[in-house]
Structure 1
Amino acid sequence: MRITLEEPLNLKETLESGQAHRWRQIDGKYSGVIGNVLVHIRQSERTLIIDSSSTLESEDFLLKYLRLDDDLEHIYAHINKDERVRTMTERYRGLRLLRQDPWECLVTFICSSTTNMKRISLMVENMSNYFGQKLELGEDIRFTFPTSEDISNTDEKTLRELGLGFRAPYVLNCGKKVQAGDLDLNTLIKTPYTEAKEQLMSLHGVGPKIADCVLVFSLDKLEAFPIDVWVKRALTDWYFPNQKPPSNQDLLVWANEYFGEYAGYSQQYLFHGRRLLDSKPTD
C-alpha cells in the first residue's frame, strides 16, 4: 500500500522521538506493531510505502495512528512563540505526535519510570513476546501487546521476571482495574483534560508526567505537557536561566499558559531536540 502525503511528515523523527517503543529499523524500513497488525513502513519523500501482516486494515488506520489529520502548519503558527521552539520545528519539521492505543500507552509509560528508552523497549518486548499473539511479515516475527486480560490473569512474580522490577505491581493493578471496568480508558478521550488526568493519577504508579504522556500520546489531549528530565532541562536552561529552577508544577502552569492548546506538540519538539543535543559528543 502507498499513501501520498498531503501534509508534512518526518517518519524517522516521529518514530524515534520517544513516544512509542516498539519501532525498530530493519532493511531500510521501520517494523512495528499497531494493535493486532505487524507493519513495515518507509518514507520516500512524500510517499509512505507500507506492508502489513493483515489485509483487513485500511489506510485510515495508519493515517489515524500517525495523526495525519493534524494541521501542522496551523500548529506551528501557534507554538512557534520564540527562537528556541522555531529552531526545533524547523530542524525536525514533520515530526508528529502519535495517536496510540490508550492501554498500551499507559502500561508503556508506567514502565518508563526512572529508566531509559532502551530499557523501556526491552520491557515492552518481553511482555509482548510472553503474552502476545504471533505476527509474521516475511521473515519478521513480532507479537501483539498484552491485553488487560492477559495482565490481570498473571502475577507480580511473572512481571518481575520479565524485567519490570518495582513497576510490576503497578502494571498488574492497572490490568485488574481496566479488566474489571473500574477504568474505561477510551471514555477519557471525551473527558476534560483535568478530570482525565485526575482519573489516571488515581492509579498506583501514575504521577503527573506519566498521566500527561498517556493523555497526549493516546487520548487526544494536545494541551497535555509531560515534564521529564529532558523537558525540565530545556525549560530551566532556555526559559529560566540563572535562577532557581521552578517546580514541575510551576513549569506546567507556565507551559500551558505560554504554549496554549498545542502545548503537547511544543513539548515533543523540546524533548526530542534537547535529548539529541545532549547526546551529541563534545570535542
Structure 2
Amino acid sequence: MKLHIPEYFDLPSTLESGQAHRWKYENGWYWGVVYGDLIKIRQTQSEVEILSSLRDPDNLKSLIQWYFRMDDNLDEIYKMIRKDDYISGAINRHCGLRILRQEPWECLSAFICSATSSISRIHKNMESMSDSLGESLVLDGHLRSTFPTPEQIVTAGESKLRELGLGFRAKYLHRAAIAIAEGGLDLGELRYIDYWDAKAKLMELSGIGPKIADCVLVFSLDKLEAFPIDRWVSRALEKFYFDDCIPSYQDTVVWAHDYFGCYAGYAQQYLFHDQRLGGLHVKGVSHRK
C-alpha cells in the first residue's frame, strides 16, 4: 500500500531518533512491530510504501497515520518552538522528524529498560523479551514477535527477565506489569488527564522517575508538552541555554514549558537527536534563559 505523506516527514530521522526501539533497517526497508502487527515501510519523496502482516489497507492506513502522528501540523509546531539559533539549526538538520504515538505498555517497558543503559542495549532487551515471550509474526519471510503483554511478563517472572539480560531493571518491569495486569494503573486513561497528574500517576510505579515518566507521556500518551531530560538534552541545555548551571529537573521542565510552549516535547526531541549526532555547533548567539 502507498500513502501520501505530509509536507514535513522524514522516516529515517523519526525511526532512528531514539524514541522507538524495535525498528530494523534492511535493504531499503524499515521493519518493526507496531501495535501487534509486523510492518515494513519505506519512504519516497512524497509517499510511504507499507506492507503489513495482518491489516487490510484501510486499517493499515489508519494505523500508520496514528503511529506517525501525521495529524501533527509541523509547520505550526516549528513556528512555536523555533525560539533561537540552536533549536532552529536542529530543526533544519532534521526537518520532518516526528514524535511517534507508540503503544503505551511497550513504550513504558522500553524506557524502564533505558535506566543507566544505551540505545543498543535497550534494543537488545526489547528484542530478547519479544522473541522469548511474545507471539510470532511473519511477513515476506521475515519472522518477528509481538512485545509481551503485562500478563505475559507477570507469568514469566522476574527471574526470567534477568535471564534475558535486564539486570536490576527486571524487578521494576515485573512490578509495573503486575500493577497494570491487576488494574492498578490504566495507561490509556492517562491520555485524557492533565500532564502533571498523569506524570504523578506514572511515578507511583516502582522505579519510575520523572525522566522515564516524561518519555512515556510524550512518546505514547499525547503529552507533547512533556520534556524528558537525559544526558544528551542536559548537555544541550548546559551548553546553549544555562551556561553550565542547569536547574533542577522539575524547574527545567517548567522553563521548557514557558520557553517552548505546548510543543516542548518536540523541541526536546530535536535537541536530543541533534546533540546525540553531534550537530549542535552554533556559536556566538546569546544564551536564552
Shorter chain as normaliser: what TM range? over 0.9
Whole-Å separation in 2 of the counterparts to 1:278 and 1:127: 33
Q: CA deviation at 1:75?
A: 0.3
Whole-Å separation in 2 of the counterparts to 1:155 and 1:36: 22
The answer (yes or no) to whether the contact 1:38–1:52 under 8 Å persists in 2 is yes
* Counterpart in the other structure of 1:15: 15
Whole-Å separation in 2 of the counterparts to 1:171 and 1:59: 32
Gaps of 5+ in 1: none
Are 2:23 and 1:29 aligned?
Answer: no
Paired residue type of 2:80: H
Runs of 4+ in structure 1 displaced over 4 angstroms?
none
Whole-Å separation in 1 of the counterparts to 2:123 and 2:279: 21
The answer (yes or no) to whether the contact 1:7–1:68 under 8 Å persists in 2 is no
- Give the TM-score of the pair, scaled to structure 2: 0.94
Whole-Å separation in 1 of the counterparts to 2:186 and 2:100: 20
* % identical equivalent positions: 51
Whole-Å separation in 2 of the counterparts to 1:238 and 1:147: 41
Whole-Å separation in 1 of the counterparts to 2:221 and 2:246: 30
SS in 2 for 1:277: coil
Superimposed CA distance per residue, residues 139-191 of structure 1 (whole angstroms, 9 cap, x where no aligned partner):
21100000011011121110000011000010001111101111000000001
* Counterpart in the other structure of 2:87: 85
- Give the TM-score of the pair, scaled to structure 1: 0.96
* Counterpart in the other structure of 2:66: 64
SS in 2 for 1:226: coil
Q: CA deviation at 1:35?
A: 1.5
* Counterpart in the other structure of 2:43: 43
Q: CA deviation at 1:36?
A: 1.5
* Counterpart in the other structure of 1:160: 162
Paired residue type of 1:268: Q
CA RMSD of aligned residues (A): 1.4
Paired residue type of 1:166: F
Superimposed CA distance per residue, residues 77-105 of structure 1 (whole angstroms, 9 cap, x where no aligned partner):
00000011111111100000000001110
* Counterpart in the other structure of 2:143: 141
* Counterpart in the other structure of 1:224: 226
Q: CA deviation at 1:279?
A: 11
| Distance change >3 Å, CA 32–CA 279, structure 1 → 2 | farther
The answer (yes or no) to whether the contact 2:101–2:222 under 8 Å persists in 1 is yes
* Counterpart in the other structure of 1:190: 192
Whole-Å separation in 2 of the counterparts to 1:173 and 1:83: 43
The answer (yes or no) to whether the contact 1:232–1:248 under 8 Å persists in 2 is no
The answer (yes or no) to whether the contact 1:236–1:246 under 8 Å persists in 2 is no
Q: CA deviation at 1:6?
A: 3.1
| Distance change >3 Å, CA 114–CA 2, structure 1 → 2 | same
- Residue 233 of structure 1 is aligned with which of 235, 238, 255? 235
* Counterpart in the other structure of 1:151: 153
Q: Equivalent residues in 2 for 1:94-109 (5 A)?
A: 94-109=96-111
Whole-Å separation in 2 of the counterparts to 1:119 and 1:278: 23
* Counterpart in the other structure of 2:286: none
Are 2:282 and 1:275 aligned?
Answer: no
SS in 1 for 2:38: strand
Paired residue type of 1:266: A
Paired residue type of 1:64: W
Q: CA deviation at 1:207?
A: 0.2
